[in-house]
Amino acid sequence: MKRPVRGEDGMYHINGHKYKELFGSRVQVWNGSAYKTPGELTKSQLYFTKNRRIVSRKKHFTAKKEKRLEKYGYFATKGKFGFIKKTARRSRKAKA
């Protein structure tokens, strides 16, 4: 795709949408004032997390699939809040 050029009104016209800037921060892209980030991410490639952060959609979901906490022994326990480290159960013989 060729680099878009500003129209006569000083805006970038891309796929039927008008943008003030071609490149901008993630917030500017999310709000529609810029077309893409310097890392070439467009609005469809961004994701708004539950912690109110704008992150890469692809990276967010691959990291979620990793289950990093569970890999290192942290699991959700019934009746407790948050992740708790699961330790190996010791038998009665080992205690004595």
Give dist(CA 64, CA 44) in Å, integer.
19
DSSP class of residue 88 equals P
pLDDT, tens digit (0-9, with 9 covering 90-100), for 9-22: 999 999 999 999 99
Copy the structure tokens of residue 62: 């691959």
Number of CB atoms found within 10 A of residue 36's CB: 20
Q: Is the pTM of this model over 0.85?
A: no
pLDDT, tens digit (0-9, with 9 covering 90-100), for 26-79: 999 999 999 999 999 999 999 999 999 999 999 999 999 999 988 999 999 999
CA-based Rg of the chain, rounded to a whole angstrom?
23
Taking the domains of the chain in order of start, what are their residue ranges? 12-95
